[in-house]
């Protein structure tokens, strides 16, 4: 029974996205655009509460900024990938850092995709998300 419920939930419930980002304006704009596409969006404004929220709500996808108060994105990513419960959740790093060292580090620690905010239109970001969930 549990499995069937779980299956139905997965199939018909709106997909849940957690957006960990300290800039409220970005939260608001991207959040709205994603809701328009039928996603449910939860937000966290710092790394620590973001990590706690992941464990509680089990999102289908995580959008993660790298420069965050309390705990930076790299540390959040590391914790996520260490935990068997959260390891499989795809993570898109959404940041404005773009040095090759940062990109390489994020990808090697398990990020699925790396997007530089300033280089993408809102629609393009939504498109990249749709490719994953």
Partner 1 sequence: MNVTKIIGKIPFFKECDQYNISLWQCPSFLFFILGLLNIGAMISTYIISTRLTEEPEITALITISVSLVIFIIGTVIVQGFDKLLQANKMKTEFIRIASHQLRTPLSSLRWANDLLMQGGGLSKPTHEQEEYLEIIRDSNQRMLKLINDLLDVTKIEMGNLPMELKPADIKSVAQEVVFDLNPLAKANNVVLNLKIKDGLSLVLSDQEKCKMVFTNLIDNAIKYNKGKGSVDIAAEKRGDFIRVSIQDEGVGIPKAQQKNIFQKFFRSDNIMKHQTVGTGLGLFIVKAIIDANKGRVWFESQEDEGTTFYFEIPIAK
Question: Interface with partner 1 by CB under 8 A: which residues?
Answer: 23, 25-26, 28-30, 32-33, 35-36, 67, 95-100, 117-119, 121-123, 125
* Contact yes or no for 58/89 (Cβ under 8 A): yes
Least distance (Å) from partner 1 to the CB of residue 108? 16
- The encoded tokens of residue 103 equal 């990109």
- Least distance (Å) between residue 17 CB and partner 1: 16
Nearer to partner 1, 52 or 116 (CB): 116
**CB of 55 vs partner 1, minimal distance in Å:** 27
């Amino acid at each position: 029974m549990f499995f069937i419920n779980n299956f139905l939930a997965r199939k018909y419930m709106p997909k849940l996205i957690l957006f960990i980002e300290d800039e409220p304006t970005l939260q608001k704009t991207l959040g709205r655009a994603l809701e328009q596409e039928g996603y449910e969006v939860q937000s966290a404004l710092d790394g620590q509460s973001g990590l706690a929220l992941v464990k509680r709500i089990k999102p289908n996808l995580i959008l993660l900024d790298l420069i965050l108060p309390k705990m930076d994105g790299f540390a959040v990513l590391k914790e996520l990938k260490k935990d068997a419960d959260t390891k499989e959740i795809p993570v898109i790093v959404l940041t404005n850092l773009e040095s090759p060292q940062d990109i390489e580090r994020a990808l090697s620690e398990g990020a699925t995709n790396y997007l530089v905010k300033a280089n993408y239109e809102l629609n393009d970001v939504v498109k990249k998300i749709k490719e994953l969930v």
